[in-house]
């Protein structure tokens, strides 16, 4: 039982004992009026704030020719709208078939209104990180490994999640997208990326 459930249970029992002392007839008449208040208390206790990183509102797909060497997928960008820093603890491929993740880097930089994500490349690792503004190239060495990358509680900061991917079997490898696991203020969350990934053993159709 959670702390909220314990509080509600104690409040409910206290109400019953208090009004029962007024007499059975009065208690039966008054208690039905009080249950809506208890229900409202339960709803307030069970409500939860939104995730610090909002789930994507749309979906997409990307296909990359991949022979034997790793390729780069760096389309994921995150913004922390919460009141505490976000610590990225893991990045995994969701429903992966014939594809594996070989490395992850996270680049955190200020949103100056113009930036270029690393995007999709036919090799890994890239020569540099994303471009912030019109000319400031972030060095690849500035990327943080996972776990441990931190996105501050600042809506003017962004995180570009970049992964190296490789086909691990013959034919085409697929995944429904990237799942980014993170913690904030002691609570665990998962961001479910909605960009499906396909690594083809030939030209993409």
Q: Is the pLDDT of residue 19 over 70?
A: no
- Between 150-154, 169-173, 178-182, the lowest mean confidence (pLDDT) is in 169-173
- Spatial contact of 102 and 204, defined as CB atoms under 8 Å apart: no
**What pLDDT score does 134 carry?**
62
- Spatial contact of 91 and 41, defined as CB atoms under 8 Å apart: no
- Spatial contact of 198 and 63, defined as CB atoms under 8 Å apart: yes
**What pLDDT score does 46 carry?**
56
As a whole-number percent, the residues of the chain with pLDDT over 70 amount to: 76
81's tokens = 């709208």
Bridging pattern class, strands 195-200 and 60-65: parallel
Q: How many CB atoms lie within 10 A of CB 93?
A: 21
- Between 33-42, 98-107, 158-167, the lowest mean confidence (pLDDT) is in 33-42
**What pLDDT score does 47 carry?**
63
Q: How far apart are CA 158 and CA 137, in angstroms?
A: 15
**What pLDDT score does 196 carry?**
96
């Amino acid at each position: 039982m959670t702390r909220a459930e314990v509080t509600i249970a104690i409040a409910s029992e206290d109400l019953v004992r208090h009004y029962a002392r007024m007499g059975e007839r009065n208690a039966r008449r008054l208690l039905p009026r009080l249950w809506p208040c208890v229900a409202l208390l339960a709803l307030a206790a069970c409500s939860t704030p939104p995730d610090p990183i909002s789930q994507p509102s749309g979906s997409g797909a990307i296909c990359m020719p991949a022979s034997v060497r790793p390729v780069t997928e760096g389309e994921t960008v995150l913004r922390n709208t919460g009141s505490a820093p976000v610590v990225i603890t893991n990045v995994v491929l969701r429903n992966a078939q014939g594809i594996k993740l070989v490395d992850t880097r996270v680049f955190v930089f200020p949103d100056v209104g113009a930036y270029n994500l690393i995007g999709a490349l036919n090799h890994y690792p890239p020569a540099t990180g994303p471009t912030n503004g019109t000319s400031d190239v972030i060095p690849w060495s500035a990327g943080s490994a996972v776990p441990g990358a931190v996105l501050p509680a600042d809506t003017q900061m962004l995180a570009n999640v970049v992964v190296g991917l490789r086909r691990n079997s013959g034919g085409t490898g697929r995944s429904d997208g990237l799942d980014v696991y993170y913690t904030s203020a002691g609570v665990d969350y998962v961001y479910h990326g909605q960009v499906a990934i396909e690594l083809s053993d030939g030209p993409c159709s």
